[in-house]
Structure 1
Amino acid sequence: MTVTTPSKRMASLAVINYEALANNDPAEIQKLVQACQTTGMFYLDLRGPRTQTIVEDVPALFRTGQHFFNLPQDSPEKIESLREGMERGYHVGKGFEYYEIPRDSYHLSDWSLPATFIPQATPITRTITTFHTAIQTILTHLSTSLHLPPSTIPELTSLPGTPSDTALKLVYKPPIHDAGTVIHPWHTDFGLATLLWYDEETTQVPAYDESGRQTGEPLTVPVVEGAVLVNVADELAGRSGGVLRSTVHRVVAPPGEKRVRNGVIYLVRPDKV
């Protein structure tokens, strides 16, 4: 497993092998539970027979997203994709753009992709399916290991089109931020879990002293080849009675020259039932 060369204090996170989880390996399940109870963040290695296609699909989505985001702001695709007052669709933020595809509407074929994304419909479908299957495997093992009642995580038995805010988000950040600039300050995520696949070191977590107090210097989360970064979010931590930890983290511009950054994020949100 290749990790980018450290240039600062780096976080040391567990690497969980998805294939082992899917095969109900007791040691890997225990490693997953420990990671979710302590740091609340870990890498999920997807380089296995069940999930290998995502390793090729995500770079293709990066390229397609970059083509879309580089269209003029007044292009028909962007104008028609804008959504006011909701996360779904195309949005322009301060220093970033994103396009969010809702899992429920997409599975019901009620969501129209912009023309640029249509050739990637199959990889998009595979990516949503792979991420969701992976997170359901994770949630199943956490629920069983922690003896949570079935009603704690109803999302485990819901159908793909069940209404929710779960979505796949393609993120584009233009080369405007100097290295180390804080883009999103310290926060925890809403929802059950977040899966982040970035091509740069952009995530940081706090460092803590022996008494559990946060120290001044953050730890940078390195990029791990073939793995998606997973973190427990607020809703899941709450449903576990605080046994699972919702990760505090922030987003900063990576080291080196200003350059384009791409990301694919899968936001796992509660079902609306």
Structure 2
Amino acid sequence: MAISTEIPQTVQWQGKKVPVYPMETIDFSRLLSQEPAELERLVRCCQDEGYFYLDLQNIDGRRMLDDQQETLKLMHRFFESPLEAKNEFGLVSPHLGYEPVGSRTGVLANTKDGYEMIKVSRDEIQKSSPHIPAVIKNSPDIKVLENAIAGSNIVTKAILSGLSTGLGLTGASRFENSHRNDRPSTSTLAMMHYIPSDPAKDHNIGHQKHTDISSLTLLFSEQWGLQIRPPGAREFGFVEPRPGTAVVNVGDSLRFASGHTMQSCIHRVVPLDPLEHRYSIAYFLRAENATMFTDSEGRHITAGQWHDEKFFAFTSPPELQALAPSSMILGGMTEEDDEVAPVAAAPAPVTVNGLKETAVGA
């Protein structure tokens, strides 16, 4: 499946028209049924582009959409709490705990990130007393988190299984056999709140460009802000939020496990509406910590080691990021020459298909 050259719409951002890139849609119900044509499309999406929409509107996927709405309610309660309540345990480990705004590098030069995040790992939620701030540790909230993590794990495992079958993998070589539920991993549910920010004057802006550490990322967001850079593209473009769907992208671990035949999706998050609070939910399915693969530097490395090294790079200042292997932040993916977007003096109106909108989001 070649990269589409058709750009059906654009969005005005930072004084220029930015493309809204098209995405293939995979039907979750057909994926569960292992329909050959759907599996073929799934494999092509992962090998050619590294991302796709997952349609969850059928009866098999609707529960995940319900879980998303319940998780959003929990997130509003959590992020509206005082900082000391949110930061009760701090960052327990790279895949568990709270990160305040400004913990990482921002999307624009000389900025820090513009989001706060609470992470709950799959391994942790199964413990009798998980390290979760008390403000969301009551019984109803625990059940919301359990449902969201369990449902996301089922969905991403179904995708892995479909990829294994579509590629003709058997036995121990199937991808899901390095993602077993009873083995330690850093699989994590991350809930993110992006604060209102204006690139023309603020110093906490978005989420820097990167590829994910994960094998697969299952992302829910009802609001604009996610940008991707398809293989061979010269610029970032927006992803349209579509009701009833999640965005799925390939991460580094699956790229490595596939012998570097799958594309790890380069993406970032920018503030489209400078007055908007933006919320997103991401489940990162990651390989068992002891899984061995060969990274883009030719090193034989475990999934756990890759996770820790890349997390350190993520949270390091730009001068330390520059000392990391060139393949670390982008997982070995290459880019054409960057086009640096100018910083607009004032927020520009959002335009979709030529129509000005006063607000962008679902």
TM-score interval (norm. to shorter):
0.7 to 0.9
- 1:119-146 deviation digits (Å, cap 9, x = unpaired): 2222322211111111111111211222
Q: Secondary structure at the match of 1:132?
A: helix
The CA deviation at 1:12 is 0.6
The CA deviation at 1:59 is 2.2
Say whether the 8 Å CA contact 1:178–1:258 is kept in structure 2: no
One of 196, 204, 212 as aligned partner of 2:227: 204
One of 70, 74, 77 as aligned partner of 1:64: 74
- 1:238-257 deviation digits (Å, cap 9, x = unpaired): 11112211111221112x34
| Counterpart code for 1:14 | E
- 1:179-236 deviation digits (Å, cap 9, x = unpaired): 9x9623332111211111112122112266xxx4x32x42211101111111011111
Say whether the 8 Å CA contact 1:103–1:161 is kept in structure 2: no
C-alpha distance 154-80 of structure 1, shift in aligned 2 (>3 A): same
Residue 129 (structure 2) pairs with residue 113 (structure 1): no
Q: How many Å separate the matches in 2 of 1:42 and 1:207?
A: 11
One of 248, 255, 258 as aligned partner of 1:240: 258
Residue 118 (structure 2) pairs with residue 99 (structure 1): yes
Q: CA RMSD in A?
A: 2.4
Worse-matched range after superposition: 36-45 or 86-95: 86-95
| Counterpart code for 2:213 | F
- TM-score, normalised with respect to structure 1: 0.86
| Counterpart code for 1:221 | V
Percent identity between the aligned chains? 28
Say whether the 8 Å CA contact 2:57–2:245 is kept in structure 1: yes
The CA deviation at 1:156 is 3.8
Residue 90 (structure 2) pairs with residue 82 (structure 1): yes
Q: How many Å separate the matches in 2 of 1:63 and 1:264?
A: 12
Residue 291 (structure 2) pairs with residue 270 (structure 1): no
C-alpha distance 182-115 of structure 1, shift in aligned 2 (>3 A): closer
Q: Secondary structure at the match of 2:134?
A: coil
Say whether the 8 Å CA contact 1:89–1:100 is kept in structure 2: yes
Residue 55 (structure 2) pairs with residue 45 (structure 1): yes
Spell out the pairing of 1:135-214 with structure 2 (5 A cutoff): 135-148=156-169, 150-153=171-174, 155-156=176-177, 159-178=180-199, 183-206=206-229, 212=232, 214=233
The CA deviation at 1:151 is 3.5
Q: How many Å separate the matches in 2 of 1:67 and 1:6?
A: 34
Q: Secondary structure at the match of 2:248?
A: strand
One of 147, 150, 154 as aligned partner of 1:129: 150
The corresponding residue for 2:25 is: 15
One of 219, 236, 248 as aligned partner of 1:218: 236
Residue 269 (structure 2) pairs with residue 251 (structure 1): yes
- 1:153-187 deviation digits (Å, cap 9, x = unpaired): 564476534211001111111112449x9623332
Say whether the 8 Å CA contact 1:107–1:160 is kept in structure 2: no
Q: How many Å separate the matches in 1 of 2:222 and 2:214?
A: 24
Which consecutive unaligned segments of at least 5 residues does structure 2 have?
1-8, 12-17, 103-113, 291-362
Which consecutive unaligned segments of at least 5 residues does structure 1 have?
none
C-alpha distance 154-24 of structure 1, shift in aligned 2 (>3 A): closer
Say whether the 8 Å CA contact 1:81–1:90 is kept in structure 2: yes
The CA deviation at 1:39 is 0.8
Query: Larger relative CO (CA 8 A, sep 6+): 1 or 2?
Result: 1
The CA deviation at 1:112 is 4.2
Matched pairs, number: 260
Q: How many Å separate the matches in 1 of 2:167 and 2:276?
A: 43
One of 83, 97, 109 as aligned partner of 1:73: 83
